[in-house]
Amino acid sequence: MITDCHTHIANPTNKAEIEGHLEACSSADACIVLGSVENSIPDYNKQLGEYCKSHKKMTGFGVINPVEDPVKSRAVKNRIRDAGLAGIVLYCSEHRFHPAHSRAMRLYEAAEKLNLPVFFHNSAPYSSGAIMDYGRTFLLDEIARRFPSLKIIIGGMGVPFASETICMISKHDNVFADLTFRPNRVWEVYNLVVTAYEADVMDKLLFGSGYPLSGVNECVETLLGFNRLMADTHLPVVPRQELRNIIERDAFALLGL
Here the CATH number for the domain that contains residue 42 is 3.20.20.140
Rounded to the nearest 10 degrees, the angle between the axes of helix 240-248 and helix 216-229 is: 170
- Domain enclosing residue 122, as ranges: 3-255
Closest-CA residue to 66 (of 127, 124, 118): 118
* Element at 162 (helix H, strand E): helix 162-171
- Relative to beta strand 3-8, strand 30-34 is parallel
**How long is the chain?**
257
* Total domain count, the chain: 1
pTM of the model: 0.94
b (16+ CB within 10 A) / e for 49-83: bebbeeeeebbbbbbbbbbeebbebeebeebbeeb
Percent of the chain, pLDDT > 70?
A: 99
The pLDDT confidence band at residue 40, using thresholds 50, 70 and 90, is: low
Strands (E), 81-237: 87-90, 118-120, 152-154, 175-179, 205-207
Do residues 243 and 237 lie in contact, with contact meaning Cβ atoms separated by under 8 Å? Answer: no
Name the average pLDDT for the chain. Answer: 93
Q: What is the model's pLDDT at position 64? A: 95
Cα–Cα dist 202/200, whole Å = 6
